[in-house]
């Protein structure tokens, strides 16, 4: 369960880790440990923002296609949360690439690349969240 819908889990995890460190006086969770966890958070945010666009680029999307995809992502996310972002990204790139290239196959390849990139980003973020949690536990109980 999330407190604020649509906010990824890692920012929550980082807030909990920071609050724990503060309440514990940074005895078990040091500021150096918190910097390591912050690094994982930053990587996760970058993966969130760029995975779909990178996938679209590898799928052959043009700059205009990626721009339309980004706009579609935002609109889709606002209209049909939480999965509207996927639909909007795919649709935006598909429409833009079809208009630009006049090729159904090229447009579909670019739009599919964006979905593959997004799904890869979700997988990578899941691994980052598991890594974050495991390191948090190690920092608290093993490296004491």
Token pair of 28 as six digits: 């078990």
What is the residue range of 84's domain?
A: 10-142
Band (103; pLDDT cuts 50, 70, 90): confident
Residue 4 lies in a domain: no
Residue 80 lies in a domain: yes
Query: Does residue 89 contact residue 76 with C-beta atoms inside 8 Å?
Result: yes
Query: What is this structure's pTM?
Result: 0.80
Residue 1 lies in a domain: no
What pLDDT does 49 receive? Answer: 78
Residue 99 lies in a domain: yes
What pLDDT does 1 receive? Answer: 40
Residue 5 lies in a domain: no
Residue 3 lies in a domain: no
pLDDT in tens, 31-86: 999 999 999 999 998 998 788 888 988 988 888 998 998 899 889 888 987 778 88
When divided into structural domains, the chain yields a total of 1
Three-class SS state of 142: helix
């Amino acid at each position: 369960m999330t407190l604020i819908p649509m906010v990824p889990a890692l920012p929550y995890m980082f807030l909990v880790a920071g609050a724990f460190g503060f309440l514990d006086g940074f005895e078990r969770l040091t500021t150096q440990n918190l910097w390591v966890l912050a690094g994982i958070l930053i990587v996760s945010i970058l993966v969130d923002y760029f995975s779909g666009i990178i996938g679209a680029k590898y799928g052959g999307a043009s700059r205009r296609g990626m721009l339309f995809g980004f706009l579609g992502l935002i609109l889709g996310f606002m209209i049909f949360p939480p999965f509207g972002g996927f639909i909007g990204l795919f649709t935006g790139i598909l429409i833009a690439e079809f208009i630009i290239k006049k090729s159904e196959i090229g447009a579909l390849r670019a739009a599919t690349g964006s979905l593959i990139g997004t799904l890869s980003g979700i997988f990578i973020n899941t691994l980052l969240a598991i890594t974050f949690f495991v390191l948090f536990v190690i920092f608290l109980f093993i490296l004491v």
